[in-house]
Amino acid sequence: MADRRGSSEWLRRQDRSTQPARVAADPVLEVAGLTTRFDTLDGMVHAVNQVSFTVNKGEFLGVVGESGSGKSVTMMSILRLIPMPPGEIVAGEAIYDDRDLLKIEIDELRHIRGAKIGFIFQDPMTSLNPVLTVGFQIEESLKIHQQLPTEDRQARALELLELVGIPSPEQRLKSYPHELSGGMRQRVMIAVALACSPQILIADEPTTALDVTIQAQIIELVKDLREKFGTAVIWITHDLGVVAGLADRVVVMYGGQIVEEALVGELYASPQHPYTSGLLGSLPRLDQRGTELVTIKGQPPSLYQFPDSCSFAPRCPYAFERCHAERPPLLPISPTRKAACWWDVETGSPRDGV
Amino acid sequence: MADTHERAEEITQETLGDGGIAEVGEHRSLWGDVWRQFRRHKGAMAGLVVVTIIVLGAFVGPIFYPHDPFDIDVPNANQGPTLEHLMGTDTIGRDIMARVLVGGRISLAVGFTAALLGIFIGTGVGILAGFFRRLDALLMRLTDLFLALPVLPLLLVIILLFRDSLRERFGPELGIFLLVVFIIGITSWMQTARIVRGEVLAIKRQEFVLAAQSIGTRRRNIIMRHIFPNVLSPVMVSAALGVGIAIITESFLSFIGLGFPSDFPTWGRLLFDAVPFLEIAPMRVIWPGALISLTVISVNFIGDGLRDALDPRLRSG
């Protein structure tokens, strides 16, 4: 039982050293004007266009949008994890701890990856190295970022496995990934990402590849860990239901841009961007059985052209001349929210003064 | 009833074997699985047994075998197999079995070292070419260049150029050993390099490499810890095949009289020495020839078994 005691002590230490969750407006990561493109054989793909957002300490930020809207590329660009070439970060900054992650030396960035900012990938089946034991892969991060004696490191790996709720962790440390189920592997991935107690955890659709019950368990686990450690979480998903239950704030992406940013309650109560309304309208609802689902007509935008008009205009029921001529910037419309739209759904007329 | 139950248990045990469902607490390591799968490959197991016997015979055998390979006994020259001389004697009465056993040492040593060198170069070139885009074109053209070289004239030229200077520096035996190993090594790495490059190209795109990057792993360690172990299976297979090729190449070099001198018997050299007496003593050709073939076939079978055992899709059972 010595292990268990050790584990709870470690938790307490972490508690003291980190801020309590939900601290208002204390930015830990500030991204501004991030622009990433890929030079492919078919032409230039404008994957992320002038994306700006902030994450506050201990905050849970949901990032939603359909496939290809640039959610993952945005987050991977911040840690420069996109393959370069063909990828290229053309402009922007990502300020963490007074340093611009997009400009610092790769060696300096290496000390932030994993240690300060953890990353969980979408598919737990392919994110673990099949020929290395689970224990080795958890310890790897500790080896890189912390000078610990081997026994301490092993103890920590054990604590982490226990923390993410893996039964008989002593044996699992020696297991290979193929011996674990998908849910267990995702827990291992979370343990790897959390090994050095990072300040920010970026989760790239971590539950998409899992079945619904396991999804719920993983979500509960991340919620728990966040409360315990005060880690800020950026949760990328296309599941609006998950975001509603988890996030403090939500960012909606479309065509490589942020189209709306709001506190989670506000967003669901009164979406300000026609795309957000469309998304919420297309959700099946328990209280409206039998009615046909609303769809957003048309196709997602082609990313081969740099958007000089509103990317959503061709599909937008409210679009007028300005939408086809000028790209709306992401502008604050209240102290807590921003939207990139020329149309004001509140007044039912074009937005004034912008 | 108890009997039926026991029988059922037995049947379960038989069908599942020890490779069946792992019991709680029992741990199956990756290499344990590989060995379990390898054992199921009959040809590979037979090959392993034969190679073990040949290796033991070459390295331990001469200690127990009563005849010295260099003892000249002219009155008893050109004998067929007898109880005294199991494989007979040669034109000056030296015991052929003793010479075959000792000759195996050099042939096997050359085979394994040269294959190791070839694998080392091939894996290195393959990993660098696959991992670093910038080196890819350069290294692959180099590989093509080596593939395009006419190996036989090249071997002859290198041997004629360097044999004497190496002999002077390292002594006749070690000098020629190094030369032969070097020549075989640098003319046999290209296939491995190509295979490894292909594997690395596929593996470096996998998410676990990205995941390793995301925790701040150095590039060097990404190659050594994450990529190299994943290309180990094709590397081991080419290594096994490489041993066979190296043994044959060494025999061939000695057979055309360019390898080891006759005072250092190797299987190829023994063949070379025996050919003029093919009509008087045909068995002299057959013994070393059979051993070369047997070793190469066995090693290839081992490679075959390794390939099957290292492929996780075939190992699922």
> A184 touching B, CB under 8 A?
no
CB-based contacts of B161, cutoff 8 Å, min separation 6: none
Alpha-carbon gap: B227 to the closest alpha carbon of chain A (Å): 9
Chain B residue with CA closest to A194: the answer is B215
Using the Cα atoms of residue A342, residue A343, residue A344 and residue A349 in order, give the sign of their dihedral: positive
Chain A CB contacts of B29 under 8 Å are: 176
What ipTM goes with this model?
0.75
Alpha-carbon gap: B128 to the closest alpha carbon of chain A (Å): 17
Which of B25, B30, B213 is facing A171, going by the closest CB pair?
B25
pLDDT in tens, A108-161: 888 888 888 888 888 888 888 888 888 888 888 888 888 888 888 888 888 888
Can you give the pLDDT at residue B50?
92
> A180 touching B, CB under 8 A?
no
Which of A144, A175, A178 is facing B216, going by the closest CB pair?
A144
Verify whether the Cβ–Cβ distance B230 to A110 is below 8 Å: no
Per-range mean pLDDT, top range of A46-50, B29-33, B268-272? A46-50
Verify whether the Cβ–Cβ distance B208 to A178 is below 8 Å: no
Residue A27 vs residues A23, A56, B272: alpha-carbon distances, Å: 10, 4, 81
pLDDT over 50 (residue A244) = yes
Cis peptide before B75 (omega within 30 of 0): no
Q: Cα B44 to chain center, whole Å?
A: 13
One-character DSSP codes across A178-221:
GGS-HHHHHHHHHHHHHTT--SEEEEESTTTTS-HHHHHHHHHH
State both tokens at B247.
């043994």
pLDDT in tens, B277-292: 888 777 788 888 888 8
CB-based contacts of B201, cutoff 8 Å, min separation 6: B130
Sequence letter at residue B168: E
pLDDT over 80 (residue B1) = no
Can you give the pLDDT at residue B25?
42
The continuous run of DSSP H or E covering B172 comes out as helix B172-186
Please name the residue that has the structure tokens 């039964």: A167
Computed on alpha carbons and rounded to an integer, the radius of gyration of chain A in Å comes to 21
Beta strands in chain A (DSSP E): 27-40, 43-56, 60-64, 87-96, 99-100, 117-120, 200-204, 232-237, 249-254, 257-263, 331-334, 337-339, 343-344, 349-350
A341 phi and psi angles, rounded to 5 deg: -155, 140
Full 3-state SS string of A108-131: HHHCCECCCEEEECCCCCCCCCCC
Which among A3, A45, A26, A7 has a CA at the least distance from the CA of A305?
A: A45
Angle at A111 between CA A108 and CA A116, to 5 degrees: 125
Secondary structure letter of residue A327 according to DSSP: P
pLDDT over 70 (residue A14) = no
What whole-number distance in Å separates Cα of residue A276 and Cα of residue A284? 15
Verify whether the Cβ–Cβ distance A145 to B27 is below 8 Å: no
Alpha-carbon gap: A231 to the closest alpha carbon of chain B (Å): 16
Verify whether the Cβ–Cβ distance A110 to B218 is below 8 Å: yes
Full 3-state SS string of B232-272: HHHHHHHHHHHHHHHHHHHHHHHHCCCCCCCCCCCHHHHHH
Structural domains of chain B ordered from first start: 31-315 (1.10.3720.10)
Which of A126, A176, A178 is facing B207, going by the closest CB pair?
A126
Alpha-carbon gap: A19 to the closest alpha carbon of chain B (Å): 23
Which of A110, A128, A174 is facing B208, going by the closest CB pair?
A128
Chain B CB contacts of A175 under 8 Å are: 27
Can you give the pLDDT at residue A21?
39
* Residue B186 and residue B143 in contact, taking contact as beta carbons nearer than 8 Å: no
Which among B159, B184, B194 has a CA at the least distance from the CA of B244?
A: B184
Assign B49 a pLDDT band (cuts: 50, 70, 90). very high
> Average pLDDT of chain A?
81
> Average pLDDT of chain B?
80
Alpha-carbon gap: A238 to the closest alpha carbon of chain B (Å): 20
3-class DSSP state of A150: helix
Verify whether the Cβ–Cβ distance B217 to A140 is below 8 Å: yes
Length of chain B in terms of residues written: 317
What whole-number distance in Å separates Cα of residue B206 and Cα of residue B208? 6
pLDDT over 50 (residue B18) = no
Report chain B residues touching chain A, CB-CB < 8 A.
22, 25, 27-30, 133, 206-208, 210-218, 225-226, 229-230, 232, 312
Which among A210, A57, A197 has a CA at the least distance from the CA of A122?
A: A210
Alpha-carbon gap: A281 to the closest alpha carbon of chain B (Å): 34
Give the mean pLDDT of B70-84. Answer: 72
Sequence letter at residue B227: I
pLDDT in tens, A285-330: 777 777 777 788 878 888 888 888 888 888 888 888 888 888 888 8
Exposure class string for A209-240: b at 16+ Cβ within 10 A, else e: bbeeebbebbbebbeebbebbbbbbbbbbbbb
The pTM (predicted TM-score) of the whole model is 0.74
Chain B residue with CA closest to A143: the answer is B217
Which of A81, A111, A179 is facing B213, going by the closest CB pair?
A81
Assign B239 a pLDDT band (cuts: 50, 70, 90). confident
pLDDT over 80 (residue A33) = yes
A38 — alpha (psi -120 to 50), left (phi > 0) or beta?
beta
> A126 touching B, CB under 8 A?
yes
Residue predicted with more confidence, B4 or B88 = B88
Sequence letter at residue B16: L
Secondary structure letter of residue B188 according to DSSP: S
Verify whether the Cβ–Cβ distance B214 to A112 is below 8 Å: no
Which among B110, B108, B107, B75 has a CA at the least distance from the CA of B91?
A: B75
pLDDT over 90 (residue B125) = yes
Give the best residue of B214, B223, B232 to mutate against chain A (max A CB count within 10 A): B214
Verify whether the Cβ–Cβ distance A129 to B215 is below 8 Å: no
Alpha-carbon gap: A176 to the closest alpha carbon of chain B (Å): 8
Question: A58-62, B263-267, B302-306: lowest mean pLDDT where?
Answer: B263-267
Length of chain A in terms of residues written: 354
> A128 touching B, CB under 8 A?
yes
- Sheet containing strand A249-254, strands side by side: A117-120, A200-204, A232-237, A60-64, A249-254, A257-263, A337-339, A331-334
pLDDT over 90 (residue B197) = yes
> A38 touching B, CB under 8 A?
no
